[in-house]
Chains A and B, each alone.
Chain A
């Protein structure tokens, strides 16, 4: 087994991640019990509260499997323990992978490439992934109480006309992000010394798979596929990469 991979898949790493996740799970139970009791206290029907638990559990099952597929996708370069931790807390697959790539380039690697990674790179990448996503927690920690109070004091000012640009800003940001990566793959595919067409081919297969999912979701009403479309498209493209690897 590759030495780097055996290091990042060490038993001690699994233990550390398990402890962190145990802490977060206990915290979830504390919130759940506190809110259940409060609901009973203010006169909510116990059956409604119980139904909330069962419906949320069933609602979550399928998307959780798709997160697990993300763990598999990430584990090939970052090992199972870190992938398990990162996809169980805070972020999501899109964030983790993009940030891991940015971090890898920032420490002088060409990207998240197994042959270039070592344990020192790994801990730096892990730290960028961790700290980079703390913004949401920071805002919640310092501003949630004041923000919610303000919202409650000024409930829903009905704005006239169209919604603001905020709704489109995140989409625009992600369009730019994807444009940068796809543009780089196009540049990399141009025949010359050091060129590599594989990333562009893999991206094209992922896009085709995603187009297929979007067709099924939007035209055929298979809304349940929404949860799987990203992870499944990635895995299909990764499988195609193995095939391309053999052919090329």
Chain B
């Protein structure tokens, strides 16, 4: 083993140690935050509600997290992975930012140089995002009375339809053949059984599973 290889192995092991310690600390700190918020007002999270919500969320997002981990970790390397998964916005920001930095630096994918560039890039990106959002939040504070005006109530009460309208267009356009059946079935169900309308948190599970199944069949038939 050359000096360089020895150094890089030590460096990587150190990065893993640091990454694991900071990641575990972050997980603990973040989980404590809702409890601290509650303690200030003498309330605590509702265990039953939490569990019911978590199971539904996990059914969708655990597989997504696994796929993201498997796909993105090799692109980001050791330090880049720890930082990206902690600071979030992986697909829409950290990955393009790291890829752009590696491109500019002209490093070979998978090399030690490329991993170093990716980590520096992700760290810089996370710091800049934090600073921009801090600046924005400082500007937002005096705007609170305006944002909480009664007239704006329909806007904030419809933030979820706004999200799924925009996302829906993007994903339906990407895979129209997958979209037709789940969308039609859920619509018909909600027209015929009005009590299902406020059960979207339940509906997303069969709808997601059906879309996956249709996607898989189309993929197997080479029709995607």
Q: Which of B65, B116, B148, B167 contacts A44 (CB 8 A)?
A: B116
B97 and A105 contacting across the interface, CB-CB below 8 Å: no
Return the chain A residue nearest B26 by Cβ: A24
Which residues of A have CB within 8 Å of B78?
A: 144-145, 148
The 10 A-B residue pairs with the shortest CB-CB distance, nearest first, are A187-B190, A76-B156, A183-B186, A206-B165, A203-B165, A176-B211, A172-B215, A135-B65, A245-B154, A107-B49
Q: Interface of chain B, helix or strand or loop or mixed?
A: helix
**Contact A97-B160, Cβ < 8 Å, known A31-B79, A172-B211, A183-B186:** yes
A31-B79, A147-B69 given; 20 more Cβ-contact pairs under 8 Å:
A14-B137, A23-B26, A24-B87, A28-B87, A28-B126, A28-B130, A31-B83, A44-B116, A91-B89, A120-B46, A131-B50, A136-B90, A139-B65, A144-B19, A169-B212, A172-B216, A176-B208, A178-B172, A198-B158, A210-B170
11 A–B contacts from the bound complex (CB under 8 Å): A27-B22, A52-B124, A90-B86, A134-B30, A136-B69, A137-B85, A175-B178, A176-B208, A176-B211, A182-B164, A207-B166
Query: A62 to B179, alpha carbons, bound, how many Å?
Result: 31
Within 8 A of A (CB), among B179-224: 179, 182-187, 189-191, 194, 196-204, 207-212, 214-216, 219, 222, 224
How many whole Å from B90's CB to the nearest CB in chain A? 8
Check B7–A186 contact: CB distance below 8 A: no
Among the listed B57, B120, B197, B207, which residue makes an inter-chain contact with A187, where contact means beta carbons less than 8 Å apart?
A: B197
B23 touches A55 (CB 8 A): no
Contact with A along B106-148 (1 / 0, CB 8 A): 0000101100110111111111111011101100110011011
Complex-state Cα separation, A107 to B211, whole angstroms: 27
Verify if B1 is at the interface (C-beta below 8 Å from A): no
B24 touching A141, Cβ below 8 Å? yes
Give the interface SS of chain A, mostly helix, strand, loop or mixed.
helix
Q: Are B130 and A106 in contact, with the CB atoms below 8 A?
A: no
Known contacts: A42-B8, A206-B161. The answer to whether A132 contacts B61 by CB under 8 A is yes
How far is A148 from B112 in the complex, measured between Cα atoms in Å?
13
Q: Which residues of B contact A147 (CB under 8 A)?
A: 69-70, 73
Contact of B43 among A17, A120, A148 (CB under 8 A): A120
A151 (CB) vs chain B CBs: closest residue: B74
| Cα distance A227–B129 in the bound complex, in angstroms | 13
B81 touches A32 (CB 8 A): no
B residues in contact with A185, CB < 8 Å: 161, 164
Chain B contacts for A214, CB-based, 8 A: 169-170, 173
Distance (Å) between the CB of B79 and the closest chain A CB? Answer: 5
Across the interface, do B154 and A42 meet the contact criterion of CB distance under 8 Å?
Answer: no
B-side contacts of A77, CB under 8 Å: 156-157, 159
A114-B224 in contact (CB<8A): no
* Contact in complex: B64, A110 (CB < 8 Å): no
A42/B7 in contact, CB under 8 A: yes
- With A and B bound together, what is the CA distance between A136 and B94 in angstroms? 14
**Given known A-B contacts A31-B82, A98-B163, A202-B162, A106 and B56 have beta carbons under 8 A apart:** yes
**What residues of B have a CB within 8 angstroms of the CB of A16 in the complex?**
33, 36-37
Pair B129/A60 contact, Cβ less than 8 Å: yes
Q: How far apart are A180's CB and chain B's nearest CB, in angstroms?
A: 4
Question: Contacts of B29 on A, CB cut-off 8 Å?
Answer: 20, 23
Q: Which residues of A contact B91 (CB under 8 A)?
A: 92
